[in-house]
Amino acid sequence: MERTDVDQRTYIMIKPDAVARGLVGRIVQRFEDTGLHFERLEYSVVTAEQAAANYMEHVGKPFYAGLIDYITSGPVVKMVLVGPDAVAVCRKLMGATNPRDAAPGTIRGDFGLIMDANVVHGSDSPESAEREIRIFF
């Protein structure tokens, strides 16, 4: 599918907890159902360098080391999705960052267990998306 001028790219990562729980197919299906299309999709392990680059704004915070350990602890599924308002569409589909606050019917509301393992990451702006795509692809 060709990109148009109104299309936007976003970065999505299915995190290690969701991969370990066998949720990849169900989560990918939810993104497909939005009508957005995949530009890239890859199964891999996040390197320490990628994790450090992605979470650099959290350096020095008490949770930083645990965040790096978690995101590099196992395989993830990295995706670039493209379509109109892709960032907003995906953020709405994912639900609130804390699964306890996420509405039923959202990915985190249906599959998330705790804040520290909240199933999926998605870019919060088109600028963040482009930065994250450069880091992970």
Q: What is the pLDDT of residues 9-27, one digit of tens each?
A: 999 999 999 999 999 999 9
- Token pair 């080391």 in the structure block, residue: 65
pLDDT at 1: 58
Given 79, 87, 121, 133, the catalytic residue? 121
Cα separation, 57 vs 8, in Å, equals: 24
pLDDT at 6: 78
Residue 5 near residue 122 (C-beta atoms within 8 A): no
- Written out in words, the top-level CATH class of the domain with range 7-45+75-136 is alpha beta
Bridge partners (DSSP) listed for residue 40: 80
Cα separation, 104 vs 65, in Å, equals: 31
Backbone angles phi, psi at 108, to 5 degrees: -70, -35
Closest CA to 71 of 106, 120, 110, 108: 120
- Is 121 among the residues known to form the active site? yes
pLDDT at 116: 85
For residue 126, give every residue at least 6 positions away whose Cβ sits within 8 Å of its Cβ, in sequence order, or none. 8, 9, 10, 87
Domain residue extents for the chain: 7-45+75-136
Low-confidence ranges of the chain (pLDDT < 50): none
Cα separation, 69 vs 64, in Å, equals: 9
